[in-house]
Amino acid sequence: MKANKLELLCPAGDITRLKCAVDFGADAVYFAGTEFGMRAGAENFTPEKMAEGIEYAHSRGVRAHITVNTLMHPGEMAQLPDFIATARDAGADAFIVTDLGAMKMVREIAPETEIHASVQMGVVNAEAATVLHEMGAKRVVVARELTLDEIAEIRAKTPKSLELEAFAHGAVCMSYSGRCLLSMYMTGRDANRGDCAQPCRWSYSLVEQKRPGELYDISETDKGSYILNANDMCMAEHIADMANAGITSFKIEGRAKSHYYVAVTTNAYRGAIDAYYADSSAPVPEWVMAELNKISHRTYSTGFYFGRQPNMQTYENGGYIRDYAVAAVVEGYENGLVIARLKNKFFSGTELDCLEPGNSPFMVKTDTLYDGEDNIIESAPHPMQIIKIPYHREIKVGALLRMKAEG
């Protein structure tokens, strides 16, 4: 027996990524204004862009959740009411909140808008979840450190009207539910205010106090030791396990990631969830995991969901696996030719992997390649130039044509 309808909740660092998430199958998107969000490095949304983004999402039946999840100092709290009112008037469906004072303001200023308790609250038990529900939270984003068994226990001991959201994919912070002071201590950049420098991804060596300047390797390689480096989470193969635990909103991390990342992860998890609807006991389609390996990522793990696992960290490096690059983005179809705008140089004869909204990936051969004036060309060398590729059917606007990355 399947759980209630599952929500695929996808990240949007700007309006382009929001539209990408919507087009590739998100049920809901989450994003921030230019203040109060936990991703200061993302472009984020001005009031005008927020209204545009919400309108675009709503016109396609997609919900919009606004993050108000930083830890706010006194001077910032005075600015919060105007922001809440602006997002409310734009049609926000929910506010994702960490600060209790901010939660109170949302209840007073936008009483009809849902409140979701952020993962930054570190909710790890039913009692805390219930209290937040009594304070007005419609949903709790459970802490990343919980196992599925613990989440199931929270589900069993909380009101049915309380929804549970959990991260299914993306980068994982080495500190408890993101409450980290390391970045602030080492660089002056406050992780709890959206400006983490990610020192957990750096390489470390040992220094003995009386031997300054002498670095002692504490790993088994010559690259130092990435002792704090957490692997990325990937739960695409475990949709049924998460649903059975009582999770109804599946969240993808990545508001600072590219629109390509958003497209691939949204499309893949859309496929995984749809496959779960079709047959909850069947394995995830093979193409789903193949897709998730085509984005820039660290080694995957299942986080804490099945208890502490030996594959939760990689000590040899803090880098990403990058196997694919976007060659071009489809802009139209005319006279049997796919019209696309170039992103990365490639040559005639290159076989391109197409990611089209609503479909599993497929291959597009470029045995013949034309420029924007219909001249046959051997390569497409100029960024943003128009290229044309013969193909037997129309490919949707916004589809991504990919190629294997060099090296």
Query: At 391, which CATH number?
Result: 2.40.30.10
| Same-domain check for residues 336 and 271 | no
- Asked if 304 and 280 touch (Cβ cutoff 8 Å), the reply is no
Supply angle C-alpha 375, 379, 380, rounded to 5: 85
CATH no. for residue 256? 3.20.20.70
What local confidence, expressed as pLDDT, does residue 221 receive?
53
**Segment 326-354 mean pLDDT:** 94
What local confidence, expressed as pLDDT, does residue 256 receive?
86
What local confidence, expressed as pLDDT, does residue 310 receive?
60
| Same-domain check for residues 295 and 351 | no
Q: Is residue 196 part of a domain?
A: no
- The whole-chain average pLDDT of the chain stands at 88
What local confidence, expressed as pLDDT, does residue 71 receive?
81
Q: Is residue 97 part of a domain?
A: yes
| Same-domain check for residues 91 and 137 | yes
| Same-domain check for residues 161 and 48 | yes
CB neighbours of 1 closer than 8 A, spacing ≥ 6? none
Q: From CA 183, how far away is CA 186, in angstroms rounded?
A: 5
CA 17, chain centre distance (Å) = 10
Q: Is residue 346 part of a domain?
A: yes
Domain encompassing residue 393: 324-404
Q: Is residue 91 part of a domain?
A: yes
**Segment 117-145 mean pLDDT:** 96
| Same-domain check for residues 93 and 242 | yes
| Same-domain check for residues 67 and 116 | yes
| Same-domain check for residues 348 and 297 | no
Indicate the number of domains in the chain. 2
Q: Is residue 350 part of a domain?
A: yes
**Segment 237-264 mean pLDDT:** 95
What local confidence, expressed as pLDDT, does residue 191 receive?
66
| Same-domain check for residues 233 and 287 | yes
pLDDT above 60: residue 371 = yes
What local confidence, expressed as pLDDT, does residue 1 receive?
34
| Same-domain check for residues 12 and 132 | yes
List pLDDT tens digits, range 166-182. Answer: 999 998 776 656 666 67
Q: Is residue 219 part of a domain?
A: no
Q: From CA 361, how far away is CA 399, in angstroms rounded?
A: 10
- Asked if 316 and 249 touch (Cβ cutoff 8 Å), the reply is no
| Same-domain check for residues 23 and 91 | yes
**Nearest of 18, 36, 26, 15 to residue 249 by alpha carbon:** 26
CB neighbours of 193 closer than 8 A, spacing ≥ 6? 38, 40, 70, 71
Q: What percent of the chain has pLDDT over 90?
A: 66
Q: Is residue 137 part of a domain?
A: yes
List pLDDT tens digits, range 274-316. Answer: 999 999 999 999 999 999 999 888 788 898 899 876 665 554 5
Q: Is residue 204 part of a domain?
A: no
Share of the chain residues as helix, strand and coil, in percent rounded to the nearest 5:
30, 25, 45
What local confidence, expressed as pLDDT, does residue 42 receive?
61
| Same-domain check for residues 244 and 393 | no
| DSSP-derived 3-state class of residue 239 | helix
pTM metric for this prediction: 0.85
| Same-domain check for residues 100 and 150 | yes
CA of 398: how far to CAs of 114, 293, 355, in Å? 32, 21, 9
**Segment 113-124 mean pLDDT:** 95
